[in-house]
Amino acid sequence: MAAVRSVHALLFAVLLLLGCSAAEARPQLAKRHTSTYNYLQNGLGKMTFWTESGDSNGQCLLDPPANQMAVALATDGLDNFGKNLASMCGVCIRIHNGDKSVVAHVINKLPDADRGPGDLDVTGPVWRALTTIPPGQLFDIKWEVVDCPDVSGPLSYKWKDGSSQYWAGIEIRNHKKPVVSVTVNGIKGTRKMFNYFVSDSGFGSAGPFTVVTTFSDGTSITDYNVPLRSGAEVQGSASQGSGSSQPQPQPQPQPTAAPTAAPTGGAPQPAPTGGAPGPAPTGGAPQPAPTGGAPGPAPTGGAPQPVPTVAPTAAPTSTPTLTRLPGGVCKLRTTSTVTVTVTVQ
């Protein structure tokens, strides 16, 4: 035991001689089995070197940030011990090593199943920002969830390949805070291990959609008229504020002219077609006496006949002929084919 202490002391002295600070040296000599995680808050564990730069093929199916500050978390950390799959995907964490710290994006999951929930793999830029020792491993590294300082503008939405009105998956990108739920046209998506919110029966139509994204602090962002484009990334329009986001006003439908009501009072009557005239209206305006002869009294003993309405014609060129017959009967003959008989009392 004394020999082990001596070796540790010697290693510590060598690190100091090499220019490493005490803060950098201590994690190498700390306990090697401490690893904890608090849901969407913080963690503590072993940090190992992952790769020089991240890629888009990790568990979260997210692109690495432009500065390549990327992190992979252990399974229990990324999925909250299996209770919230992919819940840390796209989240920013601040990693501490002594007096040094750096912010990185979570985009992948550690391949080692036996790693603790607070353990993490980091890219080359993250490693070099925290220590000057060669890539390897550091222990008891603390980290906490923070708003992403390099994110600006609206959210973006990546549709999964094969998305349609019958099956669809949507991933939220470019978010400052951890995403906890997504609803599309009122239908809540189920978060899968690859970080897409999926509805196995689609989101009710082929779009466009109203997408509501809710974050870990209870705030939300609503984007309207988000189109469905399978395999494509679509940018939203609502801005991300530092606090509670204000939803956009929902667009109102264009007013449409009300149909004109049909006139009441019964079905319209067809114009006369030249058939037998109906009874004359009662109480109407008196008809003028016929020209060319003395008017006779209204006929009695039968239904009164209406005066037919005819289009005006040119005046006849011949003079009507009136013939007096025995018995007080006169005949009036015109150039037309109509013969009018008038009885004189």
Residue (of 199, 200, 204, 46) closest to 118 by Cα position: 46
Give the C-alpha separation, 139 to 214, whole Å.
34
pLDDT of residue 141: 97
CATH superfamily of 2-146: RlpA-like domain (2.40.40.10)
pLDDT of residue 171: 98
pLDDT of residue 337: 46
pLDDT of residue 284: 44
How does pLDDT run across 55-81, given as a tens digit for each residue?
889 999 999 999 999 999 999 999 999
Pick the range with the lowest mean pLDDT from 115-119, 166-170, 206-210, 251-255: 251-255
CB atoms within 10 A of CB 328: 9
pLDDT of residue 326: 56
Helix, strand, coil shares of the chain, percent, nearest 5, are: 10, 30, 60
Question: pLDDT tier at 285 (50, 70, 90 boundaries)?
Answer: very low
pLDDT of residue 26: 43
User: Is residue 183 within 8 Å of 191, Cβ to Cβ?
Assistant: no
Residue-range domain boundaries for the chain: 2-146, 156-235
Q: Do domains 2-146 and 156-235 have the same CATH topology?
A: no
Region 110-139: mean pLDDT is: 94
CB atoms within 10 A of CB 242: 7
C-alpha distance across the termini of the chain, in Å: 158
Pick the range with the lowest mean pLDDT from 138-142, 286-290, 327-331: 286-290
Pick the range with the lowest mean pLDDT from 17-26, 163-172, 208-217: 17-26
Domain 156-235 classified CATH 2.60.40.760? Answer: yes
pLDDT of residue 28: 41
Question: pLDDT tier at 336 (50, 70, 90 boundaries)?
Answer: very low
pLDDT of residue 271: 43
How does pLDDT run across 183-223, given as a tens digit for each residue?
999 999 999 999 999 999 999 999 999 999 999 999 999 99
Question: pLDDT tier at 340 (50, 70, 90 boundaries)?
Answer: very low
Residue 124: pLDDT above 50?
yes
Mean pLDDT estimate for the chain: 76
